[in-house]
Amino acid sequence: MANEVVGTHIMIESMVYHKIMHWVNKSSYEVSGLGKITYKDGRITVIDAILLPQKNGSAHTDIEGADVGKAMFLLKDTPGDLRWWWHSHVNMDVFWSGTDRDTIDKITQGGWFVSTVFNKRHEMRSALSMVSPLPLGFIDNIPTQQIQYLDPEEDLHLGKVGKSLSKRERKKLKRLQKWGRWAASSPSAPPKPHR
């Protein structure tokens, strides 16, 4: 309900999602890291993530301040803001433990931060925590989804290739391009395929 008031949703780029799920699935302990996001018109898009050196346990993960500085350096050429904390709960449900909430409170002291928890069942849960510029507090269950799309260069290339295709193949290509543009720009239900 609160996320409807804020009007925010989170989109995780496919490459980022698969990278994180690789790290989550390879470990029997919790893992965590940071990531870069962009924000436009109520949509937070996660564009990159990094796995940091950390001390891990079956129910916790600790990242040192110096490693946050390392993340800032490694992601310095990536656009966006370093305002996303992600971690895993291995085989447990996705929820915010007391330790998670403490971490979120600490990282939010500088304004606002987005957090997402993953598990090996490919479930995820996201929250926005903000103390400034608006004191919104902790807003849980922000709608989150993975996005897959064709980048504009691929779209242009497919357009050129499309001219040499049959009428039926061009229809299929248009549908593919429509889906690609939808995934890159819309949090709503996908367009229905035409048959």
Q: What is the pLDDT of residue 96?
A: 94
Beta pairing partners, 37: 46, 81
Q: If pLDDT is split at 50, 70 and 90, which confidence band does 7 have?
A: low
Residues 95 and 162 in one domain: no
| Cβ-proximal residues to 107 (8 Å cutoff; 6+ apart), any chain | 85, 113, 115, 129
| Residue 192 belongs to a domain | no
| Residue 193 belongs to a domain | no
7 dihedral zone (left: phi>0; alpha: psi -120 to 50; beta): left
Q: Which comes out higher in pLDDT, residue 167 or 46?
A: 46
140 dihedral zone (left: phi>0; alpha: psi -120 to 50; beta): beta
Q: Which comes out higher in pLDDT, residue 193 or 178?
A: 178
Q: What is the pLDDT of residue 91?
A: 92
Handedness of CA 40, 46, 48, 51 (dihedral sign): positive
For residues 147 and 183, is the Cβ–Cβ distance under 8 A? yes
Q: Which comes out higher in pLDDT, residue 45 or 176?
A: 45
| Residue 190 belongs to a domain | no
Is this prediction's pTM over 0.85?
no
| Residue 194 belongs to a domain | no
Residues 100 and 17 in one domain: yes
pLDDT above 70 as % of the chain? 67
| Residue 115 belongs to a domain | yes
CATH number of the domain where residue 38 is located: 3.40.140.10
Task: Tell me: pLDDT of 180 over 90.
Answer: no
Helix or strand holding residue 66 (H, E)? helix 65-74
Q: Average pLDDT of the chain?
A: 77
Residues 117 and 177 in one domain: no
The pair phi, psi for residue 27, each rounded to 5°, is -115, 140
Task: Tell me: pLDDT of 181 over 50.
Answer: no
8-17, 57-66, 120-129: which range is least confident on average?
57-66
For residues 139 and 109, is the Cβ–Cβ distance under 8 A? no
Handedness of CA 17, 18, 21, 27 (dihedral sign): negative
Residues 85 and 127 in one domain: yes
| Residue 191 belongs to a domain | no
Residues 61 and 137 in one domain: yes
Q: What is the pLDDT of residues 75-126, one digit of tens each?
A: 888 899 999 999 999 899 999 999 899 889 888 887 899 999 999 999 999 9
Looking at the structure of the chain, the number of domains it has is 2
Task: Tell me: pLDDT of 31 over 70.
Answer: yes
Please state, in angstroms and rounded to a whole number, the distance separating the CA atoms of residues 54 and 146: 26
Task: Tell me: pLDDT of 57 over 80.
Answer: no
Residues 101 and 168 in one domain: no
Residues 62 and 121 in one domain: yes
Residues 11 and 89 in one domain: yes
Residues 118 and 164 in one domain: no
Residues 21 and 38 in one domain: yes
114, 111, 174, 109: which is closest to 142 by C-alpha? 114
For residue 86, how far is the Cα from the chain centroid? 9
Range of the domain at 176: 152-185
Q: What is the pLDDT of residue 3?
A: 43
